[in-house]
Amino acid sequence: MINPANDSFESADIPPPPDSRPAKALGVILFLVQMALVAALIFLLGLALAALFGPVDTEIFETKEASPGGYMAAIFYAAGNLLVMIVVVWQLRKLVATLRAGDPFVPQNALRLRYIWIAVAIGELARTILQPFLERVDPGAALTINVRAHVWFFILVLIVLAQVFREGARLRAEARLTV
């Protein structure tokens, strides 16, 4: 016989776990990464602004298109990549915040994982389409598209995780109302 007093999976009464060290460290690391990404984005936008008003140093990027147009395209391509990373890190920070609060299985986290895979998919799709144009040496040369299977595999993993989180959040809500 199970004594309900000992069998009390009363989620509403379980105190949240203390702010664990790994979660805290993750929070700090993600904060620093986000700051670095924002700083890099601001630097890139500064370069783009400077390019509008003066001569540009086309050697700064590894683009083989050494024209001012190619330079600007490379800047916006890099800025796009940074934006995707900022979105991903921003969502991860929110996710880690719920982890630190001791309640990661909330519907919002399933949504956050969805935003992450959508951002990564858009970024990868944009890279697949734009990179051949940026790396082309001879304008007449044939374009080669490089599909990175491992990135799409990673996106697939994220989609599955988002679904798992969604179900976890549903079960969590149900457990909360189980007496």
Partner 1 sequence: MAIKVNLDRVLLERRMSLTQLADRVGITLANLSILKTGKAKAVRFSTLEALCRALNCQPSDILEYVPEDSDDIRDAAE
For residue 142, the number of C-alpha atoms closer than 13 Å in the C-beta half-sphere is: 3
Q: Is the dihedral of CA 72, 78, 81, 82 positive or negative?
A: negative
Answer for which of 52, 142, 145, 179 binds partner 1 (CB under 8 A) is 179
Closest separation in Å from C-beta 166 to partner 1: 17
Closer residue to partner 1 (CB): 3 or 146: 3
Query: Residue 168: exposed, middle, or buried by beta-carbon count in 10 A (0-12, 13-18, 19+)?
Result: middle
From its phi and psi, is residue 148 left (phi > 0), alpha (psi between -120 and 50) or beta? beta
Interface mask toward partner 1 for 138-177; x: CB under 8 A: ------------------------------------x--x
Count the residues of the shown chain that bind partner 1, applying the rule CB under 8 A.
14
Closest separation in Å from C-beta 9 to partner 1: 8
How far is C-alpha 169 from the geometric centre of its chain's CA atoms?
21
Closest separation in Å from C-beta 101 to partner 1: 19
CA distance 176 to 143: 56
Closer residue to partner 1 (CB): 119 or 169: 169
For residue 122, the number of C-alpha atoms closer than 13 Å in the C-beta half-sphere is: 15
Q: Which of residues 4-33 bind partner 1 (CB under 8 A)?
A: 4-5, 7-8, 10, 12-13
Tokens of 13: 């009464």
Q: Which of residues 121-140 bind partner 1 (CB under 8 A)?
A: none
Which residues would be at the binding site for partner 1 (CB under 8 A)?
1-5, 7-8, 10, 12-13, 174, 177-179
